[in-house]
Amino acid sequence: MLPEKNKFVYICFLVGSALPVFCAPPDPVRPEPVHAATVVVRADRRTGRLVRTVMVNPKMTPPKQVGHGSDATPVTELVEQAARQYDLDPLLVHSVIQVESNYNPYAISRKGAEGLMQLIPSTARRFGAANSFSPRENIDAGVRYLKYLKNIFGDDRLALAAYNAGEAAVARYGWIPPYAETQQYVYNVGKKYGEARRRAAALPKPEPVAPPAPVVEEHPKLEQYRDEQGRIYLRTR
């Protein structure tokens, strides 16, 4: 049995050893990442019932990359490539993208249009885009569709109207359909297109580079002479 003094020291030792454990600050609690979501309500084509779909914020879950090449290519370069391939003014394509999605490759409209050029899934498949959230595929299909509409109607305004309201609506009215949304859409794209063209025209043009002067090759002249014996020789000078 311990003496009273030793017992007191022993108890103090036990209490001192336990204090760091009970007094240590708790581990910081790391908050779980918040995944923003968007609820999209669409009508089922077969039943007519409303179907609610929860879509995770694309910034948290970027779409998979499909197709050839890399989607890391800048949008400007992708627009230039597609516009050159399908013979469209890249400034017009940029104006459409600005109005449609403001350069958000993961944008989804209330009607289900997707990506930079806001393609309806059926239109995207029709013009070769398997993944509308791939900037490369979306721009390629969107520019192809816009060129197709321009070939049909022969006018930028009617092509834009058909891009927004559909080919049938423009064909039915023979002009921009009397839909407020479509008329505003054509106005907005046309305004941005006009501004872009004016900015491009105001840029200083590079000085023309004179072609290099042609190189004139000098060839030795050939002359004929006769020696004392009357024999003829040729020589160069």
**Is 100 an active-site residue?**
yes
CA distances 9 to 2, 5, 14, 93, Å, are 10, 6, 9, 85
* Cα–Cα nearest to 94, from 76, 71, 68: 76
| Exposure string over 40-68, b if 16+ CB within 10 A, otherwise e | eeeeeeeeeeeeeeeeeebeeeeeeeeee
Q: Which of 100, 137, 167, 181 is catalytic?
A: 100
Q: What gap in Å lies between CA 166 and CA 50, rounded to an integer?
A: 24
Catalytic residues: 100
